[in-house]
Amino acid sequence: MPASNQTNSHSMIRALRTLTLSLLALIIGVMAVLFASNHIRLGFENEYIMGFDNKIREIALASSKMIDGNYLAADPSLAGNKYGHVLSPILLNHGEKTVLGTKHYGIYSYSNGSLLPLYQSRGESLNAGDLAVSQWLTSQGIPYEIKKEGSFTILIPIKSSDGAIVGLYEVTGSYPFLYTRGAALERSVLLTAIVSLFVGLLLFSFHYFLPALLSYSKSQPENRKGVAP
Amino acid sequence: MIQQTFSRLLEKPNHKTGKFLSLGYFFVCIFVSLLILSSKLSGVYLSVMEQDRTDKLRMEAALIAGSLSGKQVYENMHVPDLLPDCKYNVYINSGSSFFNVYSSYLVRNSGEPLLQPEPNGLGDAYRDAFTKQELVITSRLENELNYVSALAPIVNTDGTSAGIVEVLQLREEISYTYNGISLSWFFTIFSISVSLTVVFYQVTKLLDTVLGKPNPMLPKIIRYGTNGYQSIAFFSAVACTLPTIVIGEQIKKLTMEAEGQSHSQLALMILLGTTLFVFGFSCLSSLKAFLSRSLTTRMSILVFSCSAIALLLISILVHNIVFYFLILLPLGFSLGMTFYFQREYRIYASRLGYAEFSERKIHQIQYKGFILGASVGAVFAGIIFERFGWNMIAVLCSILLSVVIFQALFFIQHCPPTNTPRLYLPTFLYAITNQHSGSFLWSGIFPLGVQLSFFMIFLPRILQSLSYSLTTVSFYFIVFFFVGMGMLRFISSLLALAPSVHTRILLSSILQISGYLLLALNPTAKMLVAVVSLFGLAVGLHDFRYYPYYISMIQKDKRPFARKIVEAVFGLGVVLGSLLCNSVFFITASENPTQNIRFGLLIFGFVLVIFLFAYPLVRLLTTGFSNSKKGGAPT
């Protein structure tokens, strides 16, 4: 094979190698950022969800002690109205500058195997009506929890003084913002990473191009001197 | 001098310098990017969590205030115990001051007067909460501690304010997160950076090897030099580590999806599953030899890698615990064939007689590839399984196996199977029950198999039980590699140490048992760093000298079986190690396994003491340490 062809193929192989490695470096760099951001995101999301669920659980259990079962049994509609308004400043967000997770609650009367909603802060966000009574009803009146992606619900049976279950108190907290904000954050981080890694690659490649450029520009005047008239 | 420096800067870096320069630059870029990214993301999520926690404080204050509304507020009043873990105060207002009439945490003896107003006054926030009847979040100091406080008004029946409730929480508790920039996260991003740099380096090497010209003067099997087989070792280790690290978690996931299982049943299932996998991976060598001879080595790696790919892809479609158990043994066997291929290559290449391709040298280079591959595989396994689950692990493993097939067929163009005689059970039993050489196997080779199970099976499980992510496993692999391959070699060359094989085994046994006992005393992630370092030293002492020494110990007519015996004992170590490692969790199976894990680890340690010190004790009884020769067996 003629020497010039060999040199050409050698240069092509080198160029191909350089291009492939540059692309690979960029891809691996982006992968690293994706890995890390996803790992951090999942960790924080889990921590937030655990904290949020605990918050809903504790506040719901504490606020359920304010509901008098005997009063609920005696006059369900008045009781529902009263407790509905008493619980509103406790549970709902009023005038906060930023609202992240939202909370909704409902008070129900229970008799003869069926639930009657007495007060609901927002009916479509609540879950008690969609559940079969047998799912949450136990003789000990243990609270029942529903865990879904983006929400947490606790159902607390309300008992009268003789131990009979006369009502149900539901608190539902939801946090869809967590996933949308997390995805948006990941996207912006990824874009930033791509740009900065590309710039980093360019800066690194100067170390290879600059000597070639400078030695080429240096050799140009010498070549002109050597050219025959 | 300036001109010299300038002209040197104008020179392009040579190939080797350029490679290290690019690797170093790459590592620094990745590491710095990850650090900055971590701090930015932590900041954003921390502010979200702080908002949620202050919201909780606000609700607690509103709840307590609500329970007191319509009631008289006075000293020693009865406050309903709605939130027993909460720290709160009740204040009444008198002019411009607030007096504390009730505190859930400050102790007052009966008869003492009303608590004096707070020394620095309580500020506008408290006045706003009282006069404007607003829910307010503020902060103040108490006993030099910074608190965030939520204020809620206590409203009378006539609509006026009777007092305010203040719920307090330490600012450091509000701002606390276990996911932030901590030492473990630093280790994790360090591992990610190192692993990806290693991937970049290995792919660069692969590209150089593929685009480069093989040496036509060398036999086909070694034409591509050390890069060829080192690349195969690396990529096969990554492919095999991916499913191995996550087997326990996948069984847990599938079992919990199927139906509720007790912790003991779950621990038993993980024990069974991992043991099936490692049995297929490291044992059944006679079957592997038979298939290698029948199909030829290159065809066997092609067939079994394809079968592993098929099993992995089917496991994506069939999401069932029973099916998963059915595929674990054949999957382990198929993945084990990639290592068996490399074993065949090593034996055949070493018989060609080239100094650069001695068996020990090839084994050392393959071993480096295995450890680096395992570190990278652990990072990928942890992060990908966390986000995407088993499916993406299966896909990635399949892609890597395809790369291994390509490498095996491209780089190793000829590799006939070895003709080692079949090892029968009586021969094997005779070998392992022999007082001298048998105890050598139990103390030298068997613990190496146990170590493999420790790193692949036990380490991921204990880290998960300590609430660390699977990605952190990679950091320990890197520590193991650094201590065993780097630090030990450096110390040995610096001090010109060349201990005999007997000394190596004794030291290795002491180091291993110290590691197990340290872990039993304090099973924490920090202690695991020390334990893994000890194991790195222990395994590094092996230096691939045990097998040649074993050959010198046994009768000449038994020497053709030596390799198979050693491999069988190693495989036995892997399987029994897996059983022992999982048994630790089975014994301590409970909601919080680390509580009683010490007991399981102590039993584990005591069982291993018998094996580790068998050979040193036999030597002590028969020959004594004073007559031990330096240098050990011929290499």
pLDDT 10s digits, B103-116: 888 766 555 555 55
| Chain B residues with CB-CB distance to A29 below 8 A | 26, 29-30, 33, 196
Q: Is the pTM here over 0.90, yes or no? A: no
Which of the four pLDDT bands, split at 50, 70 and 90, describes residue B145? Answer: confident
Phi, psi dihedral angles at A145 (to 5 degrees): -115, 140
Kindly state the percentage of chain B with pLDDT values over 70: 91
Distance CA A20, CA A1 (A): 26
Mean pLDDT of B582-599: 69
The pLDDT assigned to B479 comes to 92
Mean pLDDT of A78-104: 78
B89: β partners: B103, B166
From the list B38, B60, B379, which residue is nearest A40 (CB)?
B38
The pLDDT assigned to B510 comes to 94
Mean pLDDT of B137-165: 88
DSSP H or E stretch at residue B188 = helix B183-211
From the list A47, A87, A215, which residue is nearest B177 (CB)?
A47
Does the structure show a pLDDT above 60 at B594? Answer: no
- Cβ pairs A/B, distance under 8 A: 159
Which of the four pLDDT bands, split at 50, 70 and 90, describes residue A94? Answer: low
Does the structure show a pLDDT above 70 at A83? Answer: yes
| Chain B residues with CB-CB distance to A89 below 8 A | 62, 66, 135
Which of the four pLDDT bands, split at 50, 70 and 90, describes residue B276? Answer: very high
Are B200 and A24 inside 8 Å of each other by CB? Answer: yes
Distance CA B43, CA B38 (A): 8
Mean pLDDT of B30-55: 89
Please check whether residue B508 is in contact with residue B539, taking contact to mean a CB–CB distance below 8 angstroms: yes
| Chain A residues with CB-CB distance to B383 below 8 A | 35, 38-39
Are A36 and B67 inside 8 Å of each other by CB? Answer: no
| Chain B residues with CB-CB distance to A41 below 8 A | 41, 45
Distance CA B383, CA B393 (A): 10
Distance CA B270, CA B280 (A): 16
Between helix A3-64 and helix A76-91 the angle, nearest 10°, is 130
Which of the four pLDDT bands, split at 50, 70 and 90, describes residue B557? Answer: confident
The pLDDT assigned to A228 comes to 45
Does the structure show a pLDDT above 90 at B246? Answer: yes
Which of the four pLDDT bands, split at 50, 70 and 90, describes residue B635? Answer: very low
Rounded alpha-carbon distances, angstroms, from residue B35 to A105, A216, B213, B380, B381? 42, 40, 40, 19, 21
Nearest to A129 by CA among A138, A147, A142, A116: A116
pLDDT tens figures, B386-413: 888 899 999 999 999 999 999 998 888 8
pLDDT tens figures, B294-329: 888 889 999 999 999 999 999 999 888 899 999 999
Chain A segment 91-130 residues within 8 A of B by beta carbon are: 91, 93-94, 96, 98, 100-101
Mean pLDDT of B482-494: 87
- Indicate if the alpha-carbon torsion angle B408, B411, B414, B418 is positive or negative: negative
- For an interface test with A, the pick among B33, B467, B468 (most A C-beta atoms closer than 10 Å) comes out as B33
Q: What DSSP assignment string belongs to B450-474?
A: HHHHIIIIIHHHHHHHTT--GGGHH
Among B153-162, B259-268, B273-282, B457-466, name the most confident range.
Answer: B273-282
Phi, psi dihedral angles at B144 (to 5 degrees): 65, 15
Please indicate if any CB of chain B lies within 8 Å of the CB of A33.
yes
Phi, psi dihedral angles at B99 (to 5 degrees): -110, 135
* Complex ipTM more than 0.95, yes or no: no
DSSP designation for B224: T
Are A52 and B52 inside 8 Å of each other by CB? Answer: yes
Burial class (CB in 10 A: 0-12, 13-18, 19+), B15: exposed
Please check whether residue A34 is in contact with residue A190, taking contact to mean a CB–CB distance below 8 angstroms: yes
Tokens of B565: 């015996």
| Chain B residues with CB-CB distance to A96 below 8 A | 55
| Candidate from A212-216, B227-231, B268-272, B488-492 with smallest mean pLDDT | A212-216
Which residue is it, tokens 């065993």?
Answer: B484
Which of the four pLDDT bands, split at 50, 70 and 90, describes residue A157? Answer: very high
| Burial readout A144-180 (b: 16 or more C-beta within 10 A, e: otherwise) | bebeeeebbbbbbbbbbeeeebbbbbbbbbbbeebee
Distance CA B439, CA B248 (A): 33
**Cα of B23 to nearest chain A Cα, Å:** 10
Which residue is it, tokens 């692990």?
Answer: B393
Which of the four pLDDT bands, split at 50, 70 and 90, describes residue B525? Answer: confident
From the list A33, A47, A212, which residue is nearest B33 (CB)?
A33
Rounded alpha-carbon distances, angstroms, from residue B509 to B451, B503, B534, B542? 12, 10, 10, 11
Are B59 and A21 inside 8 Å of each other by CB? Answer: no
The pLDDT assigned to B108 comes to 60
Distance CA A183, CA A37 (A): 10
Distance CA B327, CA B330 (A): 5
Please indicate if any CB of chain B lies within 8 Å of the CB of A206.
no
The separation between CA B535 and the C-alpha centre of its own chain, rounded to angstroms, equals 14
Please check whether residue B616 is in contact with residue B531, taking contact to mean a CB–CB distance below 8 angstroms: no
| Chain B residues with CB-CB distance to A154 below 8 A | none
The pLDDT assigned to B632 comes to 45
Mean pLDDT of A47-57: 93
pLDDT tens figures, B421-451: 888 888 899 899 988 889 999 999 999 999 9
The pLDDT assigned to B534 comes to 95
Please check whether residue B338 is in contact with residue B236, taking contact to mean a CB–CB distance below 8 angstroms: yes
Please check whether residue B376 is in contact with residue B239, taking contact to mean a CB–CB distance below 8 angstroms: no
| Chain A residues with CB-CB distance to B29 below 8 A | 29, 197, 200
pLDDT tens figures, B63-95: 999 988 888 887 777 787 788 888 898 888 877
Mean pLDDT of chain B, nearest integer: 85
Sheet containing A102-111: which strands, arranged edge to edge?
Answer: A114-120, A102-111, A165-174, A151-159, A144-148
Mean pLDDT of B364-380: 92
Grouping H, G, I as helix, E, B as strand and the rest as coil, residue A54 is helix
The pLDDT assigned to B247 comes to 92
Distance CA B247, CA B273 (A): 8
